[in-house]
Structures are given as C-alpha cells and as structure tokens.
Structure 1
Amino acid sequence: MTLERETIPFDVLFVGAGPACLAGAIRLKQLADEKSMELEIAVIEKGSEVGAHAVSGAIFDPCALQALMPDFLEKGFPFEAVVRGDALYYLTADKAIAAPILPRYLHNQGFYVVSLSRLSRWMGALAEEAGINVFCGFAGKEVLYSEDGTRVIGVRTGDKGLDKDGLPKANFEPGADLTANVTVFGEGARGSLYPDVARRMRLEDHRMPQVYETGIKEVIELPETGAFPSDGPNVMHFLGYPLGPFRAGGGFLYDMGENRIGIGYLTALGYEDARIDPYGMFLRFKSHPFIRSRISSGKVIEQGARTVSVGGFHTIPKLVMNGGLIVGASAGIHDVLGLKGIHAAMYSGIWAAEAIFQALQSGDTSEAGLSAYPKVFETSKLHAAIFEGRNTTAALAKTNPVRYLFLGAQYVTGGKGLRDPMWLHADAETLKPISEAEQAPGDPSAQPDGVWMVDKLTGVYLSRTHHREDQPSHLIIHDSKLCITTCLERYGNPCTRFCPGQVYEYHEHPETGAREIKLNPSNCLHCKTCDIKDPFGNITWTCPEGGEGPEYRMV
C-alpha cells in the first residue's frame, strides 16, 4: 500500500528537543530577528513534551547559556542548587577515602545543579515564545535524502495508530515528511537516525568507535536534615566500589535543594564480565555505608536511565554534510574530564545555528557552506578541553594497575600521556564468555525495600514510562534463535542484566524445555543500552509511537 504523506517544508529542522537543538533554534531565531529575516524553524521531539525524555546527573556550567541569553536568571532559569564546593572519594567495600587533591577539572564552585528535564522544558517554552515551531510527540523514523543520495533534505515522522502486526487501526495517522534546507540532528547519545546518516554520509571515516556509560539516576526526598552540611561541599563524586579499581564508572551525590538529593551511578559499557548488571551496581553503590548514611532516611520519588557518550575527541564524527549538521551528544561533544556535557551541547547548537544563518544568507547549504560550524568548534576553549581528555576513556578501559600510570601521565602532559592516541574498542566487542567471568560477591545490604532502594520495575513505575501495548515492538531482535543458542551458551543472555528496565527476560518452559527471550517493550526507558552492548548486534532500538516512553519531571 502506498501512503499519501503530507509534506511540510521548513527552512531549518532540528531533530530532538534537548539543550543542543533548543539552544541552536533560539540562536537562529535571534539572528533572523536581528536581520528582519523570515525563517520557518521547527523542532521535533519524540517525547510527549519537551524534557520528558531528558535525564542527567547534571552539574551545569552556565557559560553557553550566558552567551545565548545574558539575562537567563531574570528569565527564570530553573536550577536546583548552587555548587558550594566539590569532594571526590574513593570507596572501598566499607570506607570512603577523600582525595587529598581535587583534579582541576572538577572545580565546580559557583556552577549549578540542574534537572535536565526542567532545564529542557524551560528552554522549550522560551523557544515557543520566540515563535519557533516545537512539535512534541513526533518521532523521527527515517532520514530523507535527495534523489542522488548526496544530500539530507529532511525527516519522515513515524506513523501512529498501528497494531501489533504493523497494520493500520481505525485511528491510523501516517507520518509526515518534514523537509528543510538544513536539518540538525541532536537526538542525544546513540540517536536512532544518526547511524543511517553516519553510514550514508561517511561521517565516521577515520574516527574511533563511540563508547558509552549507562547511568541510572534517582531523586530522593529526605527529611529536613538533608544529606549535606550547610557549610561543606554539596557535590560529591565517587570512584571504586562496587566496580572496583579496574573497571570504569562511578557515582555521584548532588544537592538538589528542598531536601532532595540527586544520586546516580554510571557503568562504562566496555566491561568484560558478562554477569555485570549496571542496575545492580547502582544498588550496591547506594548500600555502601557512606552513601547509605546519607540517603536511607529518604524516599525515591523519581528514577531514570540513559546512556552517555564518553569516547571523547577521537570519536567525534564529521559534523557537517550537505544539508545537515550533528550537534550535542549525538556527535559525542562532551567534556569527559569535567564530567559535564550540557554546556558543550549548547555551544555546539549555538555554533551550528550561526553557521546555518551564514549558509542561508549565502544560499549555500552544502557541506562547504556549513563549514563555519566545525571551524569555530576547532578554535574554541571547549575543543581544547575535549582534546585534553582525548585519551582518558581509553586509559580507564585498562583492567590492570597500568591504567593509573596512563592517567597520571595524561594529567601532567595535557592529555598526551604515554601513548597518543590510545585506541578504543566498541562496547559490543568487549564481553568475555561467561565461563571466564569472575562471579562477583553478592551484597546482602543491596536489597530493595521499596522506599530508599527500589527494584527495576518500581524504577520503571517511578519514571512514569508508558507505551501502548498493541503497537509493533520498537525493540527489534533480528534472530531470536541466536538468543537461545549461541548468546545463551557464550554470554548467558547479557540483555537480561544490562537493561535497567527489565525489558528482556529469559524463559524456559518447565515441561517442554522450550527456551525464549521474552520482550517487555512497554518497560523501555529509551536508554539505548541494548542497542549498544549486545555482543552480536542482534538488537536494534527504534522509536516507538511518538509521545511514548518516560515522563521525567525532576531527574
């Protein structure tokens, strides 16, 4: 059946309503207004509203926002707390050892603790007030190209009202073709449209593979006493337990004001042990005596999960192509050393907008016409900061004491270290057979009680995740037989552990012995871990019907 799709033209289309695209759309509108130039600017967002899918353990450097709107405080900038000071701890199984010296890139005093969800919602409202078209509940499902395939010309949104078999229901609505002179892709880490664009436009030639961490974050409501002394640091970062000294990842505690605390744990997905469960690591982190003493009197009121692009400088793709640009976390633009990405994403959006405006004025929206964007990035302080951390993730991937030799050398040499560059391996390639894995000792204190420690399904509930049950699964297992043969035998179905939403479950029929991987796509938190870590590339994450997924408010 050939569908008749509406075609809606815009001058510029931003895909994703995160900080990168919203900053870009606002900056582009500012430039157009200054020159009295009429531009049709659109932002599409797969969530039901701006911010619904935004989650981050967020320390926010306001430098990019101040450049975008110097009066951001007067405009009601939503922040949770001002950073009074920072602390860094190494956790053993029962102790917290304070770092005697705080690395220079973790000095956050005067910055803000923010909820990325609230920040995105605020920016979305400002964009709409400026006259920008913000369309929520519209998932980009397919990139549109010119007939010769050399140019991006827009995005097709997903159909709505399909049943489980993909057939139209009575309320069926076909997706629309949104065309544009320039399309900006800012879908966040592991965007669903980005892989096709990268492959078609060869954006990753001569780049290292992107690598990721899966982060789980909660907001915990505490009694009036709070978790931080009024005169001490209110931002804490943690290394060590439970991942130990030779696995990458770590945790944080952030003051979020009003007797609330943001707590999170990130597990680098380059791990080798097939038994690792990032959510289990999060619970064990919470159960550590130092952490437990600060949070166990509280109650979890919201939870979320998302992957973070942490590959750094050598993984950043080519940023421009004919008719298109890549911004923010989709491009891996992230300050790995400073553990901050929001200001970096916003800068990328701002610089992209300025390049787009020049290109529209000249009438040249080719790769060459948009090249001002990467040129500005390459001469920026942000680029210098990202370049300094170019080998950090590769050093952290070392699973023996030599990692600290590499890190120390990098710290004193501005990032060069003992080997430059150090190669990264894709996260899907690092698992060892489960027969070689070391069984990690259990932690009897890491047991959910439904209040300050919740299980995966309660976490899904607290994320307000919802998906219509009678629609095609947006999680595609390409070869189900592979799951119950090779993957089960070699790796013990790691999807049943690495998914923080318990989407994948192994079942064996007690009488017949028939085995299967059962899918629960309605639990999906849109974190993309499965698409990244599956060792066979057998799982593909696609967008469900627009407007579905988490409904974050505070994380």
Structure 2
Amino acid sequence: MAELPGIERETLEVDVCIVGAGPAGLAAAYKLAELIRAHNESGAEQKLEGISIAVLEKGKEIGSHGISGAVMDPRGISELMPDWIERGCPVESPVTSDAFWFMTEKYKLAAPVMPPPLRNHGNYVVSLGELVRWLAPIVGEMGVDLFPEFAATRVLTDNGRVIGVRTGDKGIDKLGQPKANFEPGVDIKAKMTILAEGPRGTLSKQLAGLFNLYEGKNPQVYSLGVKELWQLPDDRYPAGTVIHTMGYPLDMDTFGGAFIYGMKDRIVDIGLVVGLDYRNPTLDPHDELQRLKLHPDIKKILQGGTMISAGAKAIPEGGYYSMPRLFGDGFMILGDSGGFLNGARLKGIHLAFKSGILAAETAFHALLSGDSSSAQLQEYDALFEASWAREELWSQRNFHQPFENGVLAGLFNAGAGIVTGGRGYGVANKLEGHAGHERMERIKRYYASDDPHPPAKVKYDGAYTFDKVTNVYNGGVIHEENQPAHLLILDTEVCITRCTEEYGNPCFHFCPANVYEPQPTADGRGRVPFLNFTNCFHCKTCDIMDPYQVITWVPPEGGGGPEYKKL
C-alpha cells in the first residue's frame, strides 16, 4: 500500500499488538487476557494492571477474510476454551462419514480403508469465518481491543528490535496523491508484536528478510485452495459427510486433491487444493476446479444446485522443516504465518489455536519479567518443541518434499513415513525442499515444442462451471477503486520480454480472480499484465508462484477485499 512521506502520524502505545484476527491471533489474545485476569485475582503481590492488548484485522470486519476447508480437529479449541460447544460455537456438524476417492476423468475408485491422516472421526465440519465471528466478541469481553479495517503494512524496528507496526494510509488516489478523505496510518508501538497474518504474511515476510528467519530451514511451500459453496435442493449430501479425492483433474506430476464437505441447511462445500510447486506454467487452479465439477460423480452431487459463494486461499504445506524461526527481539510468529499446518491431514485450525496459546503463555511471562527480548521470547519455541503440536508436525516432517518428484514418489514416502515416524522414504530424518516457483518449467520445455499450444480452457456453462469474475462476485470482493494497486510489479519489462517468451505469463493462469489480464504493449513488443486489483481474493498466489519473484503483494486499504460468508 502506498505511504506518503513526511506525514505526521498518530502513535498508539500498547503492551501487546497482535496482527491478524484469525484463530491464532484471537487465541493468543483470549489466552493472554485470561492469564492476566487469573493472575491478578490470585492474590499475587505483583499485579499486571492496565495491560493493553490490541488485535488488528485488515478485513472490513472480523471474519470477512476467514476461509478454510474446513474440518476442524477440536483439540486446539478445547484446550483454549473447554466449554466451546456449550458457549455456542457455530459448528456445521460433527463428521458423520469419511471417504477417499481416486479419480479418473470418468470414474472413481473408493478406498476400502481410509488413509490414517484423513480419518476424521471426532472432528467437526466448520466455517472458519463463522468460527472467528463467534470468537471475536468473546475476546472483546476479556478487555481486548479489536480493530477491524486496520491493515498493518510495515514492521517498526529500532536497533534490531521490533517495536510495533505501522498501519496503511487511507484516502490515497491511484496516482499516489492524498484525497479529501485522507487518513494517515497509525504507528502502533508495543512491547511485543505478535504476527498471526495467515499464509505469506506481509510483515512476517519483512521480518524473514530482516532477521534471516529461514536460515538453515527449507523454504516454505504452499498450495492454493479454491472453493465454492453450493446450495442443494434436497438432502442428498447430509451435513457431516466428508470426501477427499486425488487424481483427476490434476496430473501425476502435480500435488493436490479435492474435498467435498456437507454443511447445514443443504449446503455443500467443494474445493480443490493445488500444490504451488507445479511444473506446468499454464496450469489454472480455478479452471481445474471447474473441470472437477463436470466429473459424473461430482456432477451428481451438485445437480440442481446453485453456487452461492466462492473464494481462494494459500495454504502453507512445507511442514516442520519449513517453519521459520518463530521469535526474536520483540516479536513472535503464529499460525499459518509460522507454518503451523499439517499437510498430510490438510488441517491447521487446531495448530493455529495451539500456537496462540503458547505465544500467550510466553507473552504473559515476558510481561511479568518486564523483558521481551529474544532471550525471553525463545520460551515460545521451547514450549512449542515440548508440545503435542510439535509432535504432530514432526510425525509429518517429510510429507511434502517428495511430491517434488511426482505423486507416486509422494505417496510412497507418505506410506513409509506412517510406519517410520515420519522419516523420508522411511530412512532420512530430513529431506531437503525447494521453493515452489523454482519447479515451474519453461513453456517450450514443458510442452516439448517450439510452438506450444496449451489445452483449451474450460467452457463455462453458468450452471456447473463459472468464470473467474463470477466467483469474485460470489466472494463479495470489494476494494476502493481509486487507490494505488496493492500488487507491486518490480519490473514490468520482465513481463513483456522474458516471462512472455520463457513461461507464457503464468500470472494470466494461476490467479483465481482474473487480476492479471493480458494487454498488448503500446509499442506492440508483447503483452503486459493489466491489473484488475479490485478483483483480488488476497490469496497471494502471485507473490508465491511468480517465476521471477518480481511481484509483491501488500495490503490494500483496510476494509478492502473479500466479504466471505460461511467459507
């Protein structure tokens, strides 16, 4: 987001600033407030009076940007709030049935036995957005200050220490000039800054560069989840029904699979997860989801239904060895930003809750000691290493890396890992991984032709299949149009020349929201992306998968973006 220089900014001082009001950030706020309250009521001599906790959320309201599968393991929320069911947490249904299908273009083969990581007995189908909408006022009742429409755009540092964040300016026009409604961003100074921004967090990315948080680690690898909600005319797909698939429409070089979850009120949640380490430079995850819905067995589920909502989100798949250093002077990193996701189970909500609990315990001790240095906050890492969250992630520490060599290699490794406690191919303690964009092949090599012709796109019928703009509309995406684009292309000359020739401009394909639209250059030398930035789902696929890494996603004006319902 553009930031005007030389502007006098208001400073807000708090004790703890949490960026992101998803499950990790809200759990951290709730648990920290609970620990402080219990401590002060215990009769302890040293009170923690007047402690201020602020939670910043870039969405229009808390829950606006909430999107996940989701089948939730209740372990995390049960630890945070044992009476969560009694307090009215809006679950869709306990899981009532599980199935796993291997798909070909026309047929399916149901597994006779569920793969252990995908067994969901005791879990719940939920909407992540509804979950955090329910949790937010409970957190507020604990004395936590919640600030929706506050997009944190920059980490504030002083002598190598994080001292807070700056929120984005509002009311800047597309030329970078202040409008009549201009509001400068606020500098929020904090003793501790806790980042719970979700996958590929902007501030987390800044910290990774400033403090080399991935030193000695594998790069984080992501998938993209694209999903839709369908309203069915009858009860053919009961709430709590869970199906996962692999195979069609993806090829055997591409990691991923589909999910179909039954929700309340005859709603079906259908989505496709595509590994953002694919080889094909023209792969289009949105189109692959549309193709999936034309499969006879999927079409049978959706027949007569209406697509009512859509969205997309990146998923951190790298596993234990792709987690950054989680702490430093004045900061901690939680949830998806910290890689707290089990790719084998396709689950992260329970781990997000747990990371928030551990960060809160660390922050509480730091407040008591008056010390938020790296030496003090390393307790967060120590607590994680001693926790069930670490045990779970360790057991799948090598799950994703072998999929770089294709689906069969990945499946062999997954099976071997189950019986050897997560060892790579059954023998290696740690398998190396690579950033996903590095695996993308040049278009002529991929198609083995000097004149490549990618396969035709899906023909959208408006009944089962829909174009990207329709899904953007159904995701409730709204941005202020007269503002600078929040997708920064470092060098458009790369787009016109090298990317067109070498990769065929993958951004025209991988973006699920039609943000990048091909436009001829004025001099006729090639094509350059026209940025329909107001379409953006905030999935950050462009930041992740651009082969030259010249695209940077930054937050737009606070309050802009999707307005997800039940996603």
Q: Which category of TM-score, normalised to the shorter sequence, fits these structures?
A: over 0.9
| 1:427 correspondence with 2:436 | yes
| 1:473 correspondence with 2:485 | yes
* Residue number among 27, 35, 48 corresponding to 2:31 in the alignment: 27
User: Quick one: structure 1 residues 115 and 282, their matched pair in 2 at CA, closer, same or farther if it must change by over 3 Å?
Assistant: same
User: Quick one: structure 1 residues 334 and 210, their matched pair in 2 at CA, closer, same or farther if it must change by over 3 Å?
Assistant: same
- Report how far residue 352 of structure 1 moved: 0.3
> What's the C-alpha RMSD, in Å, of the aligned pairs?
1.7
- Report how far residue 192 of structure 1 moved: 0.9
Instruction: Measure, in 2, the Cα distance between the counterparts of 1:323 and 1:212.
Output: 27
Instruction: Measure, in 1, the Cα distance between the counterparts of 2:92 and 2:311.
Output: 17
- SS of residue matched to 1:369: helix
- Report how far residue 508 of structure 1 moved: 2.6
Instruction: Measure, in 2, the Cα distance between the counterparts of 1:468 and 1:24.
Output: 31
Amino acid at match of 2:264: G
| 1:217 correspondence with 2:227 | yes
Aligned to 1:114: 126
Instruction: Measure, in 2, the Cα distance between the counterparts of 1:507 and 1:242.
Output: 29
* Residue number among 176, 187, 190 corresponding to 1:177 in the alignment: 187
Instruction: Measure, in 1, the Cα distance between the counterparts of 2:112 and 2:445.
Output: 37
Aligned to 1:104: 116
Aligned to 1:390: 397
* Residue number among 265, 281, 285 corresponding to 2:288 in the alignment: 281
* Residue number among 70, 90, 93 corresponding to 1:78 in the alignment: 90
Q: Which region of structure 1 is more displaced relative to structure 2, 382-391 or 398-407?
A: 398-407
User: Quick one: structure 1 residues 241 and 273, their matched pair in 2 at CA, closer, same or farther if it must change by over 3 Å?
Assistant: same
Identical counterparts, % of pairs = 43
Amino acid at match of 2:12: I
- Report how far residue 513 of structure 1 moved: 6.2
- Report how far residue 422 of structure 1 moved: 1.5
Aligned length: 549
Partners of 2:294 and 2:464 within 8 A in 1 = no
Q: Structure 2 length as normaliser, TM-score?
A: 0.94
Partners of 1:226 and 1:260 within 8 A in 2 = no
| 1:436 correspondence with 2:440 | no
Instruction: Measure, in 2, the Cα distance between the counterparts of 1:215 and 1:362.
Output: 42
Aligned to 2:326: 319
Instruction: Measure, in 2, the Cα distance between the counterparts of 1:441 and 1:408.
Output: 34
Moved over 4 A (4+): 439-444, 509-514
Aligned to 2:45: none
Amino acid at match of 2:436: D
What is the 5 A alignment of 1:118-517? 118-146=130-158, 148=159, 150-228=160-238, 234-399=241-406, 401-416=408-423, 417-438=426-447, 446-508=458-520, 515-517=527-529
- Report how far residue 404 of structure 1 moved: 3.4
Instruction: Measure, in 2, the Cα distance between the counterparts of 1:218 and 1:440.
Output: 29
Instruction: Measure, in 2, the Cα distance between the counterparts of 1:328 and 1:355.
Output: 15
Q: Structure 1 length as normaliser, TM-score?
A: 0.96
Instruction: Measure, in 1, the Cα distance between the counterparts of 2:337 and 2:73.
Output: 20
- Report how far residue 285 of structure 1 moved: 1.3
- SS of residue matched to 2:234: coil
- Report how far residue 126 of structure 1 moved: 1.1
Instruction: Measure, in 2, the Cα distance between the counterparts of 1:402 and 1:64.
Output: 32
* Residue number among 105, 126, 135 corresponding to 1:93 in the alignment: 105
Unaligned stretches of 5+ in structure 2?
41-47
Amino acid at match of 2:20: G
- SS of residue matched to 1:276: coil
Instruction: Measure, in 2, the Cα distance between the counterparts of 1:208 and 1:364.
Output: 31
* Residue number among 517, 523, 527 corresponding to 2:535 in the alignment: 523
Instruction: Measure, in 1, the Cα distance between the counterparts of 2:236 and 2:420.
Output: 40
Instruction: Measure, in 1, the Cα distance between the counterparts of 2:58 and 2:526.
Output: 37
Partners of 1:406 and 1:418 within 8 A in 2 = no
Partners of 1:499 and 1:529 within 8 A in 2 = yes
- Report how far residue 397 of structure 1 moved: 2.1
- Report how far residue 451 of structure 1 moved: 3.6
Partners of 1:526 and 1:549 within 8 A in 2 = yes
- Report how far residue 414 of structure 1 moved: 1.4
Partners of 1:297 and 1:452 within 8 A in 2 = no
Partners of 2:242 and 2:259 within 8 A in 1 = yes
- SS of residue matched to 1:336: coil
User: Quick one: structure 1 residues 514 and 410, their matched pair in 2 at CA, closer, same or farther if it must change by over 3 Å?
Assistant: closer
Listed one character per residue, the Cα deviations across residues 103-148 of structure 1 (whole Å, up to 9, x for unaligned) are 22222112110101111111112111222100000100110011x1
